[in-house]
Structure 1
Amino acid sequence: MLVLTLIESGEVLRDAAAGEQQSIGRGALGLYDPWRMCDYHWSPNAREVFLALPRQEVLTALGHEPGAMLLVPPRSVLAPILSTQLSQMALLLQSPTTLAASEYATLLEQTRSMAMLMLHNLGKQFLSKPADTTANLHQGRYQAAIRLMERNIHRHELDATAIATGIGCSRTRLYAAFAQQNTSVMQTLREIRLQRTKSLIEQTPQLHLGALSWRCGFTDQSSFSKLFKARFHVCPSEWHKHVWSRTNLSPSPL
């Protein structure tokens, strides 16, 4: 799924590039991809309305990948109408007895259809623009770098220089490709490594933690454990016990 949101109050800060944050305030519409890495920080009074949309339908309507987040441009004449509809739906849902369940379902479907119509309109505007060759090159380098990282996470010496050499570009162009995705090279590599170790913990009940972290490119087990806990809010050993206790297996000590 992709998630369409309307910020009704407060603000959200998101990482726009290395060392930068973008403030998104009241009335902003955004399209989020939950699978893309990004840090979000909500103000204490922030309130949003969410609408989940089928990924393939969104991609078909837009005609291209939405990126980490697509802020709906002001030129979309349907954006204010959709914002009003989302706000009204949120108010109605706070009083669940106001309408029958079938009536809520009808309104929700109408809201979804309006969202898809707006995205289709934005897609047509995108296609009417001249092709952005630089953006296409950045996207290609980004995807090539991701594939190289996934194949070589066991290499402890893997860094931006090695990745740039591996995909045949300069470090400057590599950094630019990742900045376009609102992330950095080493942040992405760390995330891939952490996700791989988490997956191995879930699959291998008797794997030694030191061997596991080394296998995924971490040279220091203590640093790995701290990174794992910071990312998943649980220690590797605790996650291991949690996963394997659900299978009625007795996990070996890590």
Structure 2
Amino acid sequence: MNQQLIKRPISIVLPRPEGLYQFHTVDTAEIESEFRYEFLTTNCKPYTTDTAHNRRAGDRKVTQRPSDAAQGSFSSVLGGTSNAIFNPYKPDSDSLFISLLLQGTVELTGRTLLETKVMTAGSLALYERDKPLHYNSGHVKQLFLILPYADARAALGGGLDELALSLDDQPLAPFIRSQMMLLDAHAAHLSTKAISSILDGLYNVSLLMLADIGRERGNRIEGSKNFIFSAAKRYIEQNYAQVNLSPDAIAVALRCSRSGLDRAFLEQHTSVMRVLQEVRLKAARYRLENFAEERIDTIAYQCGFSSPSIFSKLFKLRFGMSPKAWRQAFINSYSFYPAEESNACG
């Protein structure tokens, strides 16, 4: 890292990858201790938590390998003793994520000292950033799988009441655990296409596990309209190619009021049009990756977009590059395997 950048006290920003499914390393060992606090809050915040405001950042030595994905993100963290906090009052902080603790311990404390939970090495747990939560860790190696928030809440039937929900006894837990560990160990030798397929599979299996947990818990939440959200999501996935598909049309098809439909999506911290757009963009992404002979404007119309220009604009906003560039990146990735060291976090 450039020494001049290291000594700059304000806004030390790690360059982010241009595309998805590309791992990069955040390493604080090269940052002078008095600047680590600002570096961590700038670079690590999007993936895990806010660094606690105790200004003892000199003790925060962290190596982190995050990767943004189309549905969420995955990261590997290796660090010493640290203190962080979930702040639920920030609108962009909502997330449900799975943590696999490979080494060290994590202590969670809620509003009172009575709300305390200790996670030990080997534990697989589900967290939600929806309440004040202090997070203290000691010499950890931890993997994070950040899930698509609205889908995760809908599968679970709402949010978590506890600080963290243990997943160790779930039938699908061994599959999720093994895939997270394999991805961490071998991602540097995998193509973009391979990483995207693995992460898509991880998200799908994780949502199945949350649905199992939701059924075990009865999926009963007072005042919840989760059943409307689930039905509407299925209807959107079956009919997204209709250009004129709208919230009013969905409400008529489901025989519910428009206000009830909107409330159901609001409970999941999203909206009908946001979910519809996401489903269309994911369908288009799949066709770009798997049907190289199809014209991009044809894909746009097949996926329900009113024009190729609107599709290209929304696709670039969502995935960071144009549809044409995305397709070319995946074509190139079929035969390109980076020769990096496989486990940058040690």
Give me the TM-score of the superposition, normalised by structure 1: 0.55
SS of residue in 2 equivalent to 1:27: strand
Matches within 5 A, 1:25-174: 27-28=85-86, 40=92, 52-53=99-100, 74=111, 77-79=114-116, 86-89=135-138, 92=139, 116=165, 131-135=220-224, 138-174=225-261
- Counterpart residue type for residue 152 of structure 1: N
Aligned-residue RMSD, C-alpha: 4.1
2:166 and 2:326 mapped to 1: Cα distance?
43
Deviation at 1:115, TM superposition (A): 5.0
2:297 and 2:109 mapped to 1: Cα distance?
46
- Give the counterpart of 1:229 among 293, 316, 337: 316
CA contact (8 A) 2:247 2:272 kept: yes
Are 2:233 and 1:190 aligned?
A: no
Deviation at 1:219, TM superposition (A): 1.2
Q: Cα–Cα, structure 1 residues 170 and 212, in superposed 2: closer, same or farther, change >3 Å?
A: same
- Give the counterpart of 2:333 among 229, 242, 246: 246
Deviation at 1:190, TM superposition (A): 0.4
CA contact (8 A) 1:76 1:118 kept: no
Deviation at 1:6, TM superposition (A): 5.2
| Structure 1 residues without counterparts, runs of 5 or longer | 11-25, 31-38, 43-49, 55-70, 94-103, 106-113, 249-254
Deviation at 1:87, TM superposition (A): 2.3
Deviation at 1:77, TM superposition (A): 2.6
Report the counterpart of residue 63 of structure 1 in structure 2.
Answer: none
- Counterpart residue type for residue 52 of structure 1: S
Are 2:299 and 1:212 aligned?
A: yes
SS of residue in 2 equivalent to 1:154: coil
Aligned residues: 171
Deviation at 1:29, TM superposition (A): 7.5
* Post-superposition CA distance 1:162-181 (Å, at most 9, x none): 01111110110000000000
SS of residue in 2 equivalent to 1:207: coil
2:268 and 2:308 mapped to 1: Cα distance?
30
CA contact (8 A) 2:109 2:115 kept: no
- Counterpart residue type for residue 202 of structure 1: E
Report the counterpart of residue 9 of structure 1 in structure 2.
Answer: 52
1:236 and 1:214 mapped to 2: Cα distance?
14
* Post-superposition CA distance 1:137-175 (Å, at most 9, x none): x11000100110011011111000001111110110000
Deviation at 1:188, TM superposition (A): 0.7
Deviation at 1:119, TM superposition (A): 11
- Counterpart residue type for residue 223 of structure 2: T
2:87 and 2:136 mapped to 1: Cα distance?
12
CA contact (8 A) 2:226 2:264 kept: yes
* Post-superposition CA distance 1:96-133 (Å, at most 9, x none): xxxxxxxx79xxxxxxxx9556999xx9xxx7xxx545
CA contact (8 A) 2:241 2:302 kept: yes
* Post-superposition CA distance 1:222-241 (Å, at most 9, x none): 11101000000010000111
- Counterpart residue type for residue 271 of structure 2: S
Q: Cα–Cα, structure 1 residues 28 and 218, in superposed 2: closer, same or farther, change >3 Å?
A: same
1:73 and 1:166 mapped to 2: Cα distance?
43
Please identify which structure carries the higher helix content: 1
Deviation at 1:194, TM superposition (A): 0.4
1:174 and 1:228 mapped to 2: Cα distance?
26
